[in-house]
Amino acid sequence: MKKDTDWFEELYNNADGESCNIPWAKLEPDPLLVEFLSNNTNLQGRALVIGCGLGDDAKAISDAGFDTVAFDISQSAIKWAKKRFEERDIEFSVHDIFKLPKEYLESFDFVFESLTIQSLPITFRPEIIEAITSTVAENGKLLVVAHGKNEGEKFEGPPYPLLMNELGLFEKYGLTQLEFSIYDEASNLSSLKFKALYQNQCH
Ligand SMILES: C[S@@+](CC[C@H](N)C(=O)[O-])C[C@H]1O[C@@H](n2cnc3c(N)ncnc32)[C@H](O)[C@@H]1O
């Protein structure tokens, strides 16, 4: 039976090594991540990239000095990322966010999530947000970048842009929101972009 995530592997596998066939691949790190890294040079340690695709965000995080782990559900994406950054000491591996290995739990000082939550149907929201939250170490930080929409707006999907209040699930699962920004980013896929920074604060 086909799973909701099978199309990612098909897309990467059928791309013939041409990144122009991967709609979200820019072959450069997310500018909001680059800005965050340059403003937070005191943050160091182990980092995790969720749904890393072709690996550019993982490379930027590794360049910033983190011991970097990056995973994606697509074997072809991971093979491609490993080939692009083979001289780099980045641990790229194939994992499903819903079946993470035990050693990922509360293990990362910095976690970066960009555009994975919105790529899965809305019914997966609580489960994926709980899974991402579970990887952040005590005192660790999580930076989330996601496309968003206003109440009442309809987009066919995928992607399925987030409503601002869905980000509240990160707090429900135990993180504290430190920063939040909204950008206008109107397209046929979404109307807004959200950037949110969380911390797993000791209580
Ligand atoms: C829209 S892309 C975003 C890729 C990258 N994070 C970026 O910002 O360019 C979503 C990525 O999440 C991966 N993905 C989807 N479902 C996943 C899952 N259950 N576990 C791990 N990765 C998943 C896809 O293969 C894809 O590479």
Q: What superfamily does domain 31-37+49-199 belong to in CATH?
A: Vaccinia Virus protein VP39 (3.40.50.150)
Task: Taking residues 7-35, report their average pLDDT.
Answer: 96
Residue 188 has pLDDT above 90, yes or no: no
Per-residue model confidence (pLDDT) at position 1: 59
Residue 16 has pLDDT above 70, yes or no: yes
Task: Taking residues 129-153, report their average pLDDT.
Answer: 96
Verify whether ligand 1 is closer than 6 Å to residue 53 (CB atom).
yes
What digits encode the pLDDT tens for the residues 41-54?
Answer: 999 999 999 999 99
State the closest ligand 1 atom to the C-alpha of 53, by its place in the atom list counted from 1.
Answer: 27
* CA–CA dist 196, 46 (Å, integer): 20
- Give the domain ranges of the chain: 31-37+49-199
% of the chain exceeding 70 in pLDDT: 99
Verify whether ligand 1 is closer than 6 Å to residue 162 (CB atom).
no
What digits encode the pLDDT tens for the residues 107-118?
Answer: 999 999 999 999
Per-residue model confidence (pLDDT) at position 2: 67
Confidence tier at 95 by pLDDT (50, 70, 90):
very high
CA of 136 to the centre of ligand 1 (A): 18
**Atom 10 of ligand 1, residue of closest alpha carbon:** 116
